[in-house]
A = this chain, B = another copy of it.
Amino acid sequence: MKNKLWEQSAKLNPAVEAYTVGDDTIYDTKLLPYDLKASLAHAKMLEKISVISTGEYKKIKTALHEIKNLHKEGKFTVKLEQEDCHTAIEQYITAHYGEVGKKIHTARSRNDQALTMMRLYMKQSLEETKQLLTLLVEKYQAKSKQTKNIAMPGYTHMQKAMPTTVGIWLGAYQDAFNDILPLLDAALKLIDQNPLGSAAGFGIEGFKIDKNLTTKEMSFSKVQKNPVYASISRGLFELSTVAQMGQISLLASKFASDMMLFTTQEFSYFSLPKEYTTGSSIMPNKNNYDLFEIMRGNGALVTGYQSQLQLLLTGLSSGFHRDLQLGKEPLIKSVEITTSTLKLLIEVVPKIKVNEDKLKESMTEDLFATKQVYELVASGIAFRDAYGQVKANLEAKD
């Protein structure tokens, strides 16, 4: 059996093969369950339009089921010479069920297979992210409620500014994470269209394929009709997913920056139980908040992956280009990092210990200067004059 779906008489040069496939087998092994789902829908459609018989459909169904189980057990991986999971699946069917394997690729291309598989992956990732986000919002809400009356200095320019409370500070993150939910919905709506049948980007001629059937089977909301649009959405749809992961990660990174500052010995406003902190290999005194450092750094990573995707798309004309394969890593890594960050925050936010003594001590007089100004305003002095008086008093004290 030939290794590649397109194998020509000349064998592909091994250096070219290794270079072009790169890490794609790793990512395709991760994406395989989504290809299986799409392949099953495709087979059902082929049966309906009589390209394959019901018996053949059943064989394919069984084969796909077997692959799914092997994959779960870690026994089905994509090999370098297969290039991708699409080939690995077709070869498995042909090897175990013969002739029918040669029919599964009727009326599709690896291009629309990849599009469909990645779209299913993105849909599930966005759904999971929504759930995690919702849960995290609840955690912030609960913690914010619990701490609503604990006074805390508010900072601007990293200098003490005016009084606030721990509850308001935490409530800000509650609101900010909550407001990302509609952005996720918009990305989901964009992505929720079935590209199967766009083939290599120019559709299928000569077959009356039933896109509505596959749309329903895979729970897409609608068909993506224009095949050239299906093709140019590769990368752009990934980008709209990764952009949301970036928005989340950047916000989590801001929270992590806050925590890094507020857990320094000099601030000491908050701490975490010892099992959440780490030590040093030479300094026995250390108690470090590595989890927030990695969270801060992960914001940078996800943003960097977004840049990578944008760079990949830059300068590409329409039609499939192999470069687009390289978009799998930035997509998958962004999703994995972001969901792991959300999971950790869900675990950690409720565990934050508030050091009330230290906070009380930090509520120094200067924080109330603006209040003094407003008291003067209430007594009838114009705001700018009242401000001037209080400022002059403070400068005199220096």
Q: Is there an interface contact between B172 and A232, defined as CB atoms closer than 8 Å?
A: yes
User: Is A240 on the interface with B (CB-CB < 8 A)?
Assistant: yes
Q: Is there an interface contact between B281 and A156, defined as CB atoms closer than 8 Å?
A: no
Interface of A is mostly: helix
User: Which of these, B243, B282, B311, contacts A373 with CB under 8 Å?
Assistant: B282
Copies of this subunit: 4
For the complex formed, measure the closest distance between the CB of A15 and the CB atoms of chain B, giving whole angstroms. Answer: 6
Q: Is there an interface contact between A106 and B157, defined as CB atoms closer than 8 Å?
A: no
User: Which of these, B13, B19, B233, B263, contacts A294 with CB under 8 Å?
Assistant: B19
Q: Is there an interface contact between A315 and B257, defined as CB atoms closer than 8 Å?
A: yes
User: Is A95 on the interface with B (CB-CB < 8 A)?
Assistant: no
> What is the 8 Å Cβ interface bit string for chain A, positions 314-325, against chain B (1 contact, 0 not)?
111111111111
Q: Is there an interface contact between A312 and B301, defined as CB atoms closer than 8 Å?
A: yes
Contacts of A76 in B (CB 8 A): none
Q: Is there an interface contact between B190 and A179, defined as CB atoms closer than 8 Å?
A: yes
* Max count, chain B CB within 10 A of own CB: residue among A6, A9, A366: A6
Using a CB-CB cutoff of 8 Å, which residues 228-279 of chain A contact chain B?
228-229, 231-233, 236, 239-240, 243, 246-247, 250-251, 253-255, 257-258, 260-261, 263-267, 273-276, 278-279
Contacts of A374 in B (CB 8 A): 107, 204-207
Q: Is there an interface contact between A202 and B344, defined as CB atoms closer than 8 Å?
A: no
User: Is A385 on the interface with B (CB-CB < 8 A)?
Assistant: yes
Cα A163 to Cα B325 in complex, Å, equals 24
> What is the 8 Å Cβ interface bit string for chain A, positions 79-106, against chain B (1 contact, 0 not)?
0000000110010001000010111111
For the complex formed, measure the closest distance between the CB of A130 and the CB atoms of chain B, giving whole angstroms. Answer: 14
For the complex formed, measure the closest distance between the CB of A371 and the CB atoms of chain B, giving whole angstroms. Answer: 6
User: Is A288 on the interface with B (CB-CB < 8 A)?
Assistant: yes
Contacts of A347 in B (CB 8 A): 13, 15
Q: Is there an interface contact between A322 and B169, defined as CB atoms closer than 8 Å?
A: no
Can you list 8 pairs linking A and B with CB atoms under 8 Å apart? A51-B377, A157-B286, A162-B205, A183-B187, A290-B322, A297-B323, A303-B307, A304-B312
The 9 closest A-B pairs by CB, nearest first: A315-B315, A304-B308, A6-B279, A297-B323, A186-B186, A284-B391, A102-B384, A172-B228, A293-B322
